[in-house]
Amino acid sequence: MTELETLRHSCAHVLANAILVLWPEAQFAAGPPTANGFYYDVDLSHRITPEDFKRLEKEMQKIIQAAQPFEREIISRQRALEMGRSGALAGLGPRPMPSVFKLDIIERIPANEEITLYRNGSFTDLCAGPHVADTSKIGAFQLTHVASAYYKGDEKNPQLQRIYGTAFATQEELEAYFNMLEEAKKRDHRKLGKELELFTFDEDVGPGLPMWLPKGTVLIEELEKLAKETEFQAGYQRVKTPHIAREQLYKTSGHLPYYAESMFPPMELQEESGGEKNIYYLKAMNCPHHHKLFGAVPRSYRDLPLRFAEYGTCYRYEQSGELMGLMRVRAMQMNDAHIYCTEEQFAHEFRAVNEMYLKYFKIFGIDRYQMRFSTHDPAKLGQKFVDHPQLWKKTEDMVRDVLVSSGINFVEVPNEAAFYGPKIDVQVWSAIGREFTLATNQVDFAVPRRFGLVYTTSENKKETPLCIHRAPLGTHERFIGFLIEHYAGAFPVWLAPEQVRVMPISDKVGNYAQRIVSELMASGVRASADLSSEKIGAKIRQAQLEKIPYMVVVGGREEAAGQLSLRSRQHGDEGVLLKNDFYQRLNDEIQKRS
RNA sequence: GCCGACGUAGCACAGUGGUAGUGCAGCUGAUUCGUAAUCAGCAGGUCAGGGGUUCGAAUCCCCUCGUCGGCUCCA
C-alpha cells in the first residue's frame, strides 16, 4: 500500500467510526482505498444521503483533531471469532448483533495468516493495515457520494450502502483534485458530443441507441477509411453480412442459450410457405456469419490465412443501468475481422495483429494502455472453457511467446479467457481517467469446429482452421467516445469534422472567401465560409469554440495578393501565406494523419 | 436488472402551492468591421409522460419513461 493509500484507508476507518457514532447498529463489510479515494460498505436501515455528509464529516473531523493513535494488535483466530460474535468488530464495543460480515471475512482468512486488529479511540476494526500513526495525519478529506454495492460484488448477497470519500495529505491537494474533476467534466464525451453536435440520443429511438449527426459521421467515416486502408495493406478482404440471423446460427455457434440474455429478444415470424415458425435474432457478434462465409466455399491450405473484415453492426441488450453515453451502448459498429489460419501460421498472424494495434496507437498518440492476456483455468475445463487442455496450452503459449518476443508490456489474468480460447484485451485510460476495454484480440480454436469448418491440407486431408477474432479499433461508439475525451474534442486535422473555416473581414471579400472554400473542397478538404455579418473577432471565437483546426482570415489585402491569413486552433495567428502553400501544407498534414 | 439522486426553451440555469423567468444559441433588421462575443427587435416551454391531492400544482403524492452515480458485465 502506498502512503496515500494508507492515509485513505485510515480515513475509511474514521468514516466507519463516525457512522457508528450516529448509527450504533451499523454493520460494516470492507473499506479499502481506491484509485481516487476510499469507500466503506455499510449495512444500515437508515438511507445515508448527501445531507448526512455534513454531520458525518463533523464527527470525522472531531476524531481527526483528537489525533487518536492507530494501535495494531495480533489476536488469535479464536479471539477474533469471539469479538465478531459480540459485535465488537468494526464497532465501538460489544453490541447486541454480531459483526456478520467481519465474521465471514475471518472465515476466509487462510489458517497460516495472522489476524490483526486496529484500534483508534474506542473504534476497533478487523484489518490487515497498515495505517497512519494517528488520525491527525489525515490532512484533508471529503465525502463525495453514496452508491450501492452487493456484498462481495455478488447480486445474490445483501445490498450495502457504499459511502465514497477522498482524502489527501494537504488541503491544497484535495482542492487540486476537485479542480481536476471539474476539468474532467469539461472533456466528458457526453458533454462535448452535444456541444460539438457529434451524436444524439432520443427517447423514442431508445436508450443506448446513439444516432450520429453529420459531424460525428465524419469521424466514423475517417476511422473506416483508416481501417480499410490498413486492412487492405495487411491482406484482409472485406465482407458484408446481414444484421439478423435465424436461431439455428446461434445454436451452432454455442451462443444460445448461454449468451441469450445479452441479446435482444428474438423475433418470431410465421413464414408463408409451410407455416413453420421461424425465429430470428439481431446479431450480437459477427463471427457466426463470417464462419458461414468461410464454409460457403471449399477452402484449401493455399487460401490460408484468410482474413475477413467487416465494420459489422451488432446489437446487445445491455442492462439498463449499464448504459453510459457512447461507452456502453446497445447498437455498435465493430472494427471486426476474423483470420482463419493453420497452427503454423498462427504466431505470425497474431504478431501482425498486435503490430496493427501498435500502429493505431501511434497514430492516435495513445501511450497509456495495457494489454491484458486472459487465460483459462484448468479446473473449469468443460464448464466455463471448452475441454481441450492441449489446445489451451498450445495457444496460450503461442500468444505469450508473441507478446514476450514483441516486447509488449502485458499482465496475465487467469480464468478470464473466452470460452473458445485465450484473448488479449486492450485497456486504455481516457484523458479524464476512465478505464476502458477498447479493443480485443481473441483466439478461437473451438467454434470453427462447431461449424464444421475445414480446409484441405497439402496431404489432401481435412483440417479445422484456428480463428483469430480481432477488433483493434473496438467499436465506433466506444472508440470515438474515447477519442473525444482523449483530444478534448480538438481532433487532429485529418479527423476534424470541419477542417478549415474561411472568414472574410467584410462582405467585400465574401466571394474570395467562397472561392477558397471551393478550392479546398475540390481537393476533398472539409471547409466552409462564415459569411455572417459578425466582426472578425466573433467569427474567430465561434470557430475556436467549434474547435476547428484551421481558420483562414481574408480581407482586401489577401485578395489582392492571392494570399490568406492563417490562424491555427493551437497557435493562433500564423501570419500570411500564399493560398497554394497553405493547400499543400494542409493536404500533406491530412494525408500523413499527423 | 438492483440501490440512490435527478428531469423547467436547442444549451446552461433561476423559480418550492397563486397566470413560467434570465443568459447564450436561433430568427429579422441595422452595422461592413483585421485575429476569442457590434447593436436593436422578435420568436421559442402541455415545466419528461400519465394519474392523484387541492379552489388552484413546475412545486405535494403515486406510477411509467429517460439521464446520472455505483454494483455486476463487457467493445
- What is the predicted ipTM? 0.93
Predicted local distance difference test score (pLDDT) of residue A274: 66
Covered bases, chain B (protein CB within 7 Å) = 1-5, 11-12, 30-38, 65-75
A556 touches strand B (CB under 7 A): yes
Distance, CA of A119 to CA of A92 (rounded, Å): 10
Model pLDDT for residues A110-151, shown as the tens digit of each residue: 877 888 888 888 888 888 878 888 888 888 898 888 888 888
Percent of chain A with pLDDT over 90: 56
Distance, CA of A455 to CA of A362 (rounded, Å): 36
CA/C1' separation A488–B17 (Å): 45
Q: Which nucleotide is nearest to A151 (CA to C1')?
A: B71
> Of the candidates A486, A510, A530, which is a domain's last residue?
A486
A428 touches strand B (CB under 7 A): no
> Of the candidates A181, A207, A227, which is a domain's last residue?
A181
CA/C1' separation A202–B47 (Å): 19
> CA A567: distance to chain centroid?
35
Q: Which amino acid is at A295?
A: G
**Domain check: are A14 and A159 in the same one?**
yes
A478 touches strand B (CB under 7 A): yes
Number of C-beta neighbours around residue A34 at 10 A: 14
A535 touches strand B (CB under 7 A): yes
Four-residue CA torsion sign, A516, A522, A523, A524: positive
A75 in a domain, yes or no? yes
> Of the candidates A486, A511, A539, which is a domain's last residue?
A486
**Which residues have CB under 8 Å from A141's CB, separation 6+?**
A11, A14, A57, A60, A64, A165, A166, A167, A168, A174
**Domain check: are A540 and A410 in the same one?**
no
Q: Which nucleotide is nearest to A534 (CA to C1')?
A: B38
CATH number at residue A573: 3.40.50.800
A537 touches strand B (CB under 7 A): yes
Distance, CA of A84 to CA of A94 (rounded, Å): 9
Is the per-residue pLDDT at A523 higher than 80?
yes
Model pLDDT for residues A66-87, shown as the tens digit of each residue: 888 888 888 888 888 888 888 8
Which residues 41 to 80 of A reach strand B, CB within 7 A? 47, 49
Which residues 287 to 326 of A reach strand B, CB within 7 A? 316, 318-325
Predicted local distance difference test score (pLDDT) of residue A435: 80
Report yes or no: A289 and A334 within 8 Å, Cβ to Cβ. no
Tell me the residue range of the domain where A47 lies: 3-181
**Domain check: are A384 and A465 in the same one?**
yes
A353 in a domain, yes or no? yes
Burial-class residue A261 by CB neighbours within 10 Å (0-12, 13-18, 19+).
exposed
**Domain check: are A579 and A553 in the same one?**
yes
Is the per-residue pLDDT at A579 higher than 90?
yes
Predicted local distance difference test score (pLDDT) of residue A180: 83
A466 in a domain, yes or no? yes
Q: What is the 3-state secondary structure (H, E, C) of A189-244?
A: HHHHHHHCCCEECCCCCCCCCCEECHHHHHHHHHHHHHHHHHHHHCCCEECCCCCE
More confident residue, A521 or A273: A521
Predicted local distance difference test score (pLDDT) of residue A273: 63
**Domain check: are A454 and A360 in the same one?**
yes
Q: Which nucleotide is nearest to A538 (CA to C1')?
A: B37
Distance, CA of A73 to CA of A99 (rounded, Å): 18
Which residues 363 to 402 of A reach strand B, CB within 7 A? none
**Domain check: are A506 and A467 in the same one?**
no
**Domain check: are A299 and A377 in the same one?**
yes
Dihedral of the alpha carbons of A290, A326, A417, A377, in degrees to the nearest 10: -150
Is the per-residue pLDDT at A341 higher than 90?
yes
Q: How confident is the model at residue A312 (pLDDT cuts 50, 70, 90)?
A: very high
Is the per-residue pLDDT at A538 higher than 80?
yes
A553 in a domain, yes or no? yes
Predicted local distance difference test score (pLDDT) of residue A272: 63
More confident residue, A468 or A130: A468
Predicted local distance difference test score (pLDDT) of residue A464: 95
Closest residue (Cα, C1') to B3: A148
Number of domains in chain A: 3
**Domain check: are A149 and A16 in the same one?**
yes
CA/C1' separation A54–B61 (Å): 28
Distance, CA of A378 to CA of A391 (rounded, Å): 12
Place of cell 455457434: A253
CATH number at residue A465: 3.30.930.10
A250 in a domain, yes or no? no
Model pLDDT for residues A422-442, shown as the tens digit of each residue: 999 998 887 777 788 888 999
**Domain check: are A463 and A330 in the same one?**
yes
**Average pLDDT score over chain A:** 91
A370 in a domain, yes or no? yes
Rounded average pLDDT over A483-489: 94
Rounded average pLDDT over A272-298: 89
Is the per-residue pLDDT at A262 higher than 70?
yes
**Domain check: are A473 and A450 in the same one?**
yes
A434 in a domain, yes or no? yes
A356 in a domain, yes or no? yes
Model pLDDT for residues A387-412, shown as the tens digit of each residue: 888 889 999 999 999 999 888 889 99
- DSSP conformational letter for A509: G
CA/C1' separation A216–B17 (Å): 45
**Domain check: are A9 and A156 in the same one?**
yes
Rounded average pLDDT over A154-160: 77
CATH number at residue A24: 3.30.980.10
More confident residue, A169 or A497: A497
Report yes or no: A128 and A5 within 8 Å, Cβ to Cβ. no
- DSSP conformational letter for A156: T
Report yes or no: A255 and A291 within 8 Å, Cβ to Cβ. no
Model pLDDT for residues A207-238, shown as the tens digit of each residue: 999 999 999 999 999 999 999 999 999 999 99
**Domain check: are A456 and A549 in the same one?**
no
